[in-house]
Amino acid sequence: MKNIIDKAVLEKAQSWLEGNYDEKTKQKVKYLIEDDPQELIESFYRYLEFGTGGLRGIMGVGTNRMNKYTVGMATQGLANYLKKMFPDIGQIKVAIAYDSRNNSKYFARITAEVFSANGFKVYLFDDLRPTPELSFAIRYFKCQSGIVITASHNPKEYNGYKAYWDDGGQLIPPHDKNVIDEVKKIKNIDDVKFNGIEKNIEIVGEEVDKEYLRRIKELTLSPEIIKKHKDIKIVYTPLHGTGVKLVPMCLKDFGFDNIYSVEAQNVSDGNFPTVISPNPEEPAALEMAIKKAKEVDATLVMATDPDADRVGIAVKDNKNEIILLNGNQAASLLIYYLITKWKENGKINGNEYIVKTIVTSELLKDIANKNGVESFDVLTGFKWFADIIKQNEGEKIFIGGGEESYGYLIGDFVRDKDAVSACALIAETAAWAADHGKTLFDLLIDIYLEYDFYKEKLISVVRKGKSGAEEIQKIMEKFRNNPPVSINNSEVVSIKDYLIQKEKNLITGEEKQITLPKSNVLQFFLKDGSKISVRPSGTEPKIKFYFSVKEKLDDKNKFDEVNNQLDKKIESIIKSLGIE
């Protein structure tokens, strides 16, 4: 079997057999070499790298897997980098949180021990906590860095390691690449300080919870309206994750009384027994919550992913049926509500801004621009939101922002997407709509009437493993080297290539520089107003195609008609591009 395995892969695997690894790990590596060469290749063909969500991978032995040693090496590399970047600090401080996934607590403890062995002060949460609370804790304790152990919404066999900087935002260039460089300098695990110093580790909990919830409560814009509509029926599920405690507490803090839970999904379990995938983007993940909502006649359904940084919602439509809203629709509702209330309260003076990603609906930008609010576009990943907030700190005021993949942020005391505060503000938006005699769905149609009916769709093409990564690369090369001149019988008028940071107008031939960082993303803008974006995922083995189309909606009674037109338009575009 050995002769079919790449030499570099085999050398890496042999080093694990000869190195100072535990016996159980060695036995597993030996088994892979002798009996499972394909899995050996997948486990050792590369090192895990920081993508849009940090370090993330399948749990198991190997350099391309999440395990004690890859976590330890990543932590030691980060520790070495922090020592270089903060040489004059008496004691470097870090905060660590973890979610409900299998091995999350174990990996968090390993991380804490390595940091503490390097002489750092470590604030380790006493139990599972939402990712946004880790971002908050970094700022609260004035830490230089932080880690949350989570693979977000990935399948149960995954875990991950998100690294944060002193502003509470995830690592961005040059820090992310520099940390990887430091990790690569660690030639064997003997360079990792695994023997923790207990006195350097402080267990934290309720104190941070209370302050975090207090700051979220300050975001409320309609406390009197909530009092009038406090009995709105809300169904909430944490999908076996970290939102189980704080989301209901936060909703109650805001004044909502009628909160129903899905008891079977309140159980924190890394096997996610009641769902195929704990991803609020997947309709199946909300099935139990929607069933509960029908039983109690609820107005709003909300589901958070395992680390409670993203939220999916369902509402009653114009036929009184419960339907799912996508991330663009939820973000549009939130931004519309926030800006409208800020304006009503006299808080808009031209110094405010929102943030969205380049693949998120242009509707958010339209809403902002019409109301005198600046809008920033960023690459996919909330680390770029944090960067914009940091750049504008003290000069401009951040209202909120969102991305199509169900991540939202309101206020700047957290520097990552935050489903805890988003749940509270979505519920508040529902109360505000009710005070105007409307549902959230009615409000969405009002937005379409005012700003045009935007509709988006995402298709993810999964290609796993080394061969899959190569296939994804070829797909990108095809679109980049032979771009379509028309799509669905509509002329391509401009192309944005974020890898070479160029925007080209195909009508005039004019080229403009893109000021955002380099990223492997292509966007095609059509004459009919459609936008198609293509990008490989930074955290999963897939390539993503984002479709955005729009039409005028001049009568709410024509909603279904125009909705069908937009659906057909998207399907025609997909067919035109030959996407399977």
Q: Catalytic amino acids?
A: 152
- 361, two tokens: 């609906």
Question: What burial class does residue 197 get, using C-beta atoms within 10 Å of its C-beta: 0-12 exposed, 13-18 middle, 19+ buried?
Answer: middle
- According to DSSP, residue 535 is labeled E
- Could you give phi then psi for residue 551, rounded to 5 degrees? -145, 160
- 113, two tokens: 């021990």
- 346, two tokens: 């006299």
- Chain centroid to CA 437: 33
- According to DSSP, residue 510 is labeled -
Q: Element (H or E) spanning 403, and its range?
A: strand 397-403
Question: What residues contact residue 557 under an 8 Å CB cut-off, 6+ apart?
Answer: none
Four-CA torsion 313, 290, 434, 225, nearest 10 degrees: -70
Residue among 196, 227, 213 at smallest CA distance from 96: 196
Angle between helix 37-44 and 23-35 (nearest 10): 120
Judge if the upstream peptide bond of residue 174 is cis by omega within 30 degrees of 0. yes
Note whether 116 and 107 are within 8 A (CB).
Answer: no
Reduce the DSSP state of residue 15 to 3 states and report it.
helix
Residues listed for the chain: 580
Amino acid identity for residue 270 in this structure: G
Residue among 85, 104, 93, 61 at smallest CA distance from 181: 85
Reduce the DSSP state of residue 94 to 3 states and report it.
strand
**344 CB neighbour count, 10 Å cutoff:** 11
d(CA 361, CA 252): 31
The vertex-169 CA angle with 164 and 171, nearest 5°, equals: 50
- 437, two tokens: 């005699």
